[in-house]
Each structure stands twice: as structure tokens, then as C-alpha cells.
């Protein structure tokens, strides 16, 4: 018998594998506190849950609607992608945005939206890097994200019923993708069975001297997240049947994770990233090569064209509430 209780201030979610025990717990709480049982989860901290046979879709339709109203963009023209493929905005120069407070406020809201919308993780990460001194160019980028959210306002993250608890991760990096400081952006998408459960798009802290180094750093970040998830699964009494599989589209980075010979020519990679190789040696992690065209994490590291973006958006399990087919 397992029961999980999630508490945020005065909002509580209770779930488990024994309905009778959940009912008893709620009755015990009601005897001590003034509580109201709202039944099956429908709305929680800005998240909406829509149920369909053997699945649930998590969305933030109301939250996005309120954001569009605050930004004065309820009637904006929708676009098919959140970022252009040829963005040349720079942190140096450019005309300062007339209302930096508005820019920062919207950025904070967009970060919260990425909790159910991994398809905007990269674009939001990009605009959030310039909150200290936003320009009109970056305000235009921010408005494009809002226009995309207007187009996909009914979309959400699909969670399907599955007996699989095995983990796999996809990692990618855009080497020297930032035109200002030449730092790379790394990203990952982690699945439990068929469901996406963790993702990230982050600018790397140091300048990578090769594409292999930037990819290896992204791989290490995903490895750290997988390690944390395995620890969390242990606390939740969940278990996996095999070591997590980590998919990388840089062949040299996959070699680095298993073959120490290749480290001779890459000594400039920080030593703390080499814990990936230790995980592989202990058979706690499998690192495998995947072709770039099948690399789901591409969407976390760069602006993409409509066709490619839509393909990867589908792989992230982002679906319209109208249809989850």
C-alpha cells in the first residue's frame, strides 16, 4: 500500500494505490483541520488536468489566457513556432525596451508555463538571459513566444497509462550557439516509459573548445538528473528493470563516456564531468549514439523550422486538448 501527499501551502494533492486508505486519510485530516475535498484533480496551482481514456493532459490554458491579457496580446496574430531560425538579436547595442518591468514580469510567467510546455523551454531560456537590459529586439522575441502560445493555447503535456518505469534520456548541445559570448546551450529530455517527466534547456557556464566538449557537458547534466530521479524513485518505492539509456548524437562524446583512451586529447574538459564514465563503468548508465534527425533534444537547444519543430513537438507528447491521437 502506497499513498503520496503533495502539499503546497494550503493546497494538497493525495493519491495512492488504495482508495480506501485515501478516504481514511482525508477523514483523519478533516477531523483535525477545516478542509474541502474537491474530488478528482482538475485544477491545481494554475495547472489544468483533462482526462481521456488511459491518459491525462496537463495544460495551463487559463494561465496563458491571463498572460495574453496582461501583455495586451489577446488579439495577436498566431505563429507556428516560438522562435525564428535566424535570430540575430544581440545583447550589445540595440534600442532599450521602454518598459523593462513588463519584460521581466512576462519572463517570470513564461518560465512557469514551461512546466507543462517543454516546446517553449529553449525560447524562454533565451529571452530570460536579457532581463537585466532588455532591448526592443528581445521584446519582439518575447512577443513571438506569446503569439505561439496563442496558437497553441489548447495544448498540453500528455501522460499515458503505462506499466514501464524504465528511464531514457536524449541530450543535445548547440556548440557556441550564442553569438555574443560563444557559449553553448545544452538540453535534455527524460522519459519514464512513454512519458516525458523531466526536461531542461540551459546555457553552459563555460565556453566549450569543441562540439564534443559541449555535447559531453550536456550529457553530464542529463546524467546528474537521471541520478537524482533514480534516488527519488527509490524514495517513492519505484524500481527500474534496467540501467537508464542516454541517447547522444555526437559519436565522440559517446566514446568519451566509455573509452578512457579518448580522454588524452580532451584534457581541457572539466574533471567533474567524468563521473559519466564512472556510471557507465559501473553499468549504472548506458550511453548510446542516435542520429541527429532522431534527436528529440534538438528542440531544447536551437530555433527550428516549422516542419522539424512540429515533428519534435509531437515526440515531446504535446497534444491539443481537442484530440490526443
> Cell 503520496, residue?
4
Determine, yes or no, domain membership for 297.
Answer: no
d(CA 219, CA 2): 33
d(CA 295, CA 171): 8
Determine, yes or no, domain membership for 299.
Answer: no
Q: Same domain, yes or no, for 204 and 321?
A: no
Domain of 8, in residue numbers:
1-39
Determine, yes or no, domain membership for 273.
Answer: yes
Mean pLDDT to the nearest integer, 160-169: 91
The pLDDT of residue 193: 93
* C-beta separation of 249 from 172 below 8 A: yes
The pLDDT of residue 323: 56
Strand order in the sheet with 55-59: 43-44, 47-52, 55-59, 155-160, 318-320
Q: Same domain, yes or no, for 182 and 276?
A: yes
Q: Please, where are the H alpha helices in the chain?
A: 19-32, 61-70, 100-113, 121-128, 136-151, 211-235, 251-256, 275-281, 306-315
Q: Same domain, yes or no, for 54 and 104?
A: yes
Q: Could you give the number of structural domains in the chain?
A: 3
Q: pLDDT category, 96, cuts 50, 70, 90?
A: confident
The whole-model pTM stands at 0.90
Determine, yes or no, domain membership for 295.
Answer: no
Q: Same domain, yes or no, for 175 and 281?
A: yes
Determine, yes or no, domain membership for 241.
Answer: yes
Instruction: Write out pLDDT tens, residues 227-277.
Output: 999 999 888 888 888 899 999 999 988 888 877 666 555 666 766 567 888
| Residue of higher predicted confidence among 172 and 177 | 172
Q: Same domain, yes or no, for 197 and 236?
A: yes
Instruction: Write out pLDDT tens, residues 102-115.
Output: 999 999 999 999 99
The pLDDT of residue 58: 95
Determine, yes or no, domain membership for 298.
Answer: no
Q: What is the mean pLDDT of the chain?
A: 89
Q: Same domain, yes or no, for 111 and 199?
A: no
Instruction: Write out pLDDT tens, residues 9-19.
Output: 889 999 888 88
Amino acid at each position: 500500500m502506497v499513498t503520496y501527499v503533495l502539499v503546497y501551502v494550503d493546497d494538497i494533492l493525495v493519491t495512492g494505490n488504495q482508495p480506501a486508505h485515501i478516504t481514511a486519510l482525508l477523514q483523519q485530516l478533516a477531523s483535525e483541520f477545516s478542509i474541502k475535498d474537491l474530488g478528482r484533480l482538475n485544477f491545481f496551482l494554475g495547472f489544468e488536468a483533462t482526462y481521456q481514456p488511459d491518459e491525462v493532459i496537463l495544460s495551463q490554458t487559463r494561465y496563458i489566457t491571463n498572460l495574453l491579457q496582461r501583455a495586451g496580446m489577446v488579439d495577436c496574430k498566431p505563429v507556428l513556432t516560438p522562435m525564428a531560425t535566424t535570430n540575430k538579436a544581440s545583447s550589445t547595442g540595440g534600442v532599450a525596451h521602454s518598459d523593462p518591468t513588463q519584460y521581466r514580469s512576462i519572463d517570470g510567467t513564461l518560465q512557469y508555463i514551461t512546466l507543462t510546455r517543454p516546446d517553449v523551454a529553449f525560447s524562454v531560456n533565451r529571452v530570460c538571459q536579457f532581463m537585466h537590459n532588455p532591448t526592443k529586439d528581445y521584446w519582439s522575441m518575447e512577443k513571438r513566444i506569446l503569439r505561439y502560445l496563442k496558437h497553441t493555447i489548447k495544448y498540453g503535456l500528455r501522460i499515458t497509462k503505462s506499466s514501464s518505469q524504465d528511464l531514457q534520456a536524449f541530450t543535445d548541445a548547440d556548440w557556441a550557439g550564442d553569438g555574443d559570448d560563444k557559449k553553448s546551450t545544452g538540453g535534455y529530455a527524460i522519459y519514464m516509459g512513454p512519458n516525458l517527466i523531466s526536461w531542461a534547456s540551459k546555457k553552459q557556464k563555460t565556453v566549450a573548445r569543441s562540439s564534443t566538449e559541449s555535447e559531453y557537458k550536456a550529457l553530464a547534466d542529463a546524467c546528474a538528473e537521471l541520478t537524482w530521479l533514480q534516488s527519488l524513485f527509490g524514495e517513492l518505492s519505484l524500481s527500474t528493470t534496467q540501467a537508464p539509456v542516454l541517447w547522444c548524437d555526437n559519436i565522440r562524446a559517446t566514446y568519451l563516456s566509455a573509452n578512457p583512451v579518448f580522454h588524452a586529447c580532451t584534457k581541457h574538459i572539466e574533471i567533474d564531468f567524468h563521473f559519466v564514465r564512472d556510471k557507465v563503468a559501473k553499468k549504472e548508465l548506458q550511453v548510446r549514439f542516435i542520429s541527429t534527425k532522431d534527436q528529440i533534444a534538438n528542440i531544447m537547444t536551437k530555433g527550428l523550422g516549422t516542419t522539424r519543430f512540429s515533428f519534435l513537438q509531437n515526440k515531446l507528447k504535446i497534444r491539443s486538448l481537442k484530440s490526443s491521437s
